[in-house]
Amino acid sequence: MSNSRITVSLDEDAQEALEDVTKRTGQGQSELVRRALTFYAANFQAATTDASEKLEDYHKMLSGGEHVLLDVDFLHCFLDFVSDEEGNRAEEFLEAADEVSAYHAREYEDEFESLDEMLEWLSLCGFLSVRRSDESRYHVVFPSEEIRWFMTRFIERSAVRLPFDIEIEEGYTKVMMTEHPAEES
């Protein structure tokens, strides 16, 4: 082992973290700092890129218990199950989905100031891919026609309390969404 020594000034958060980890692991402070530096160096790129921000968002979503990871094939199964051969959706499902959308509308009211923010969030959730084409217009691509139908309905209903209106133009493989100033009611 090298005999190099350094002196580090710790702020209150770092001091509390060091004390907590020392108690939990029973290891000495020097060993914990060495391991933390080695870990940080090995994971530097992940810790200092936009990906780390996404990982933090995923962690918040999953650890809060409000979201789950779901294989896209399961989502397709669920959506296929609530549709008949002609593509009609079960009324009970539509009512339940619209209830969830209404709840999200109340939640999103304090969360999003722009369509860009809302689409970025839904993209993070894995429901869609989005590309901004100009200041207020977005090309939105969904993994399947069923998910496109489901998420377009969700977006329309969950955005009703937001400070903007959304114009939706459905194409064959994608949807064009344009943000407009909200109309006064």
The crossing angle, in degrees rounded to 10, of helices 50-63 and 115-124 is: 80
Whether residue 80 lies inside any domain: the answer is: yes
pLDDT: which is higher, 76 or 95? 95
What is the mean pLDDT of the segment spanning 134-157? 94
- Same-domain status, 125 and 88: yes
Same domain, 137 and 174: yes
- pLDDT at residue 1 above 60? no
Claim: this prediction has a pTM higher than 0.85: no
* Residue 185 pLDDT greater than 60, yes or no: no
* Cβ within 8 Å of residue 162, ≥6 positions away: 108, 109, 112, 118, 182
Same domain, 20 and 84: no
For residue 67, count other CB atoms closer than 10 A to its CB: 12
Band (129; pLDDT cuts 50, 70, 90): very high
* pLDDT of amino acid 96: 96
49 found inside a domain:
no
pLDDT of residue 72: 83
Question: CA triplet 72, 178, 87: central angle to 5 degrees?
Answer: 40
- What residue numbers bound the domain in which 29 lies? 12-42
Do 28 and 81 fall within a single domain? Answer: no
For residue 5, is it within any domain? no
Residue 158 in domain: yes
Beta-ladder partners of 79: none
pLDDT tier for residue 110 given thresholds of 50, 70 and 90: very high
How is the beta sheet containing 174-181 ordered, strand by strand?
Answer: 129-132, 137-141, 174-181, 164-170
- Look at residue 137 and tell me if it is in a domain: yes
CA–CA separation, 58 and 73 (whole Å): 20
**110 and 176 inside one domain:** yes
Residue with tokens 């619209």: 98
Shared-domain flag, residues 24 and 74: no
